[in-house]
Amino acid sequence: MSTSGLNMSRRIRRTPYTDRVETVGVRGFSVVNHMLLPKAFERTVEEDFLHLREQVQIWDVSCQRQVEISGPDAAKLVQWMTPRNISRMKLGQCFYLPITDENGGMINDPVLLKLAEEHFWLSIADSDVMLWAKGLALGRGLSVSVDEPDVSPLAVQGPKAADVLATIFGEGIRALGFFKYGFFEFEGTQQVIARTGYSRPGGYEVFLRGSHLGPALWDRIWEAGKPYGISPGCPNVPDRIEAGLLSYGNEFTRENNPLECGMEKYCTLDGSIDYIGRTAIERVAREGVKRQIRGVLFDGGRCPPCGKPWPVLAGDADGPQIGQITSAGWSPRLERNVGLSMIDRGYWEPGQKVTVLCADGVKRRGTVSALPFA
């Protein structure tokens, strides 16, 4: 039993940075892709929210495992897996995209990195996309290799992230466009660094190849970050809610299609490409979705952590249920609670009045909000 109370075992994999996050006082973990994700350090979520908006944080997000797809049929397999058209994707680009099953249900929402014409990484949320991709490839007899390489992303997020990383990797860091990546030298190796991340202020992710380099990378960033007030952190719930960044398994599951998730712009609906789930998604597009992801801004004092979904009712507490809050937290910026919920058609216009039935028994009044939050 660790200090976190989560039972530790080899099955719940440590990362190249776990020793370091323990040193700097990690107080809780979650498990993503069979791997530890730090969830709390010494500061409160609210303090972390404010720090992240103003300074810089280092996050162990190794649990964003890479699914490496390479070989002559690599692009063919990747395109088959997603409604997003990747035919014009260039080297150096990162594409956020839905991965869907034959019913249009969401299997994951990774960031795709195109490393070469026949070489891709899918930086995944919490499901075994490697098994999905490998099964598809094997079943169809595609000429590809599908594997999980020794790549452990380390995120540097916040407005001073560029300053910190430029100290180590040079001014080229500042030239990286949003959702672009480049190769940068570290200890004699070439490493991928992307301007991506799971926060509203944004920042970078170092896709470190080579676990043995993990402690050295952490230490270099930590040292370079000291003048900028660096602190250990992790994806911050109210921050990512405000940004409209969804979490697979929380806001959406295989029961949801990408149109419900607000991913219309990543769905090819004109028949110009073929992909798994196309027929189902085109049908949903014709008929319209029955519910869609929205923000909810609500009062009633700080809500508790959202450990299980909270019903969202239309209007007052006697209204019909129109959704469920699946992530929530107190926003120090808005000084109100923010949450995410699929909201039924007819009720999803911003400004719709709602009541949230929180687990603490308090009925909190609020309104539907567009995403990201204003």
Q: Which residues bind a copy of itself (CB under 8 A)?
A: 1-14, 27-31, 34, 39-40, 101-102, 107, 126-129, 131-142, 247-250, 276, 305-309, 326-327
Residue closer to a copy of itself (CB basis): 55 or 331: 331
CA 191 to chain centre: 21
Residue closer to a copy of itself (CB basis): 133 or 313: 133
Measured CA to CA, the distance from residue 92 to residue 212 in angstroms comes to 25
C-beta of 137: minimal distance to a copy of itself in Å? 7
C-beta of 43: minimal distance to a copy of itself in Å? 14
C-beta of 52: minimal distance to a copy of itself in Å? 18
C-beta of 326: minimal distance to a copy of itself in Å? 5
- For residue 63, the SS3 value is coil
Evaluate the CA torsion angle 224, 229, 233, 237 in order and state its sign.
Answer: negative
C-beta of 361: minimal distance to a copy of itself in Å? 16
Measured CA to CA, the distance from residue 248 to residue 216 in angstroms comes to 31
Contact of 373 with 242, CB cutoff 8 Å: yes
Beta strands 291-298 and 231-233 are unpaired
C-beta of 290: minimal distance to a copy of itself in Å? 19
Tell me, what amino acid is at 24? Answer: V
Contact of 255 with 290, CB cutoff 8 Å: no
DSSP state of 227: G
Measured CA to CA, the distance from residue 36 to residue 29 in angstroms comes to 6
Dmax (CA) of the chain: 64
Residue closer to a copy of itself (CB basis): 39 or 333: 39
Residues in the chain: 374
C-beta of 127: minimal distance to a copy of itself in Å? 6
C-beta of 263: minimal distance to a copy of itself in Å? 18
Residue closer to a copy of itself (CB basis): 22 or 344: 22
DSSP state of 7: P
Strand partners, 293: 342
Measured CA to CA, the distance from residue 235 to residue 106 in angstroms comes to 22
DSSP state of 293: E
Residue closer to a copy of itself (CB basis): 5 or 351: 5
Residue closer to a copy of itself (CB basis): 55 or 127: 127
Residue closer to a copy of itself (CB basis): 137 or 312: 137
The residue among 215, 238, 220, 158 whose CA lies nearest residue 184 is 220
Residue closer to a copy of itself (CB basis): 82 or 127: 127
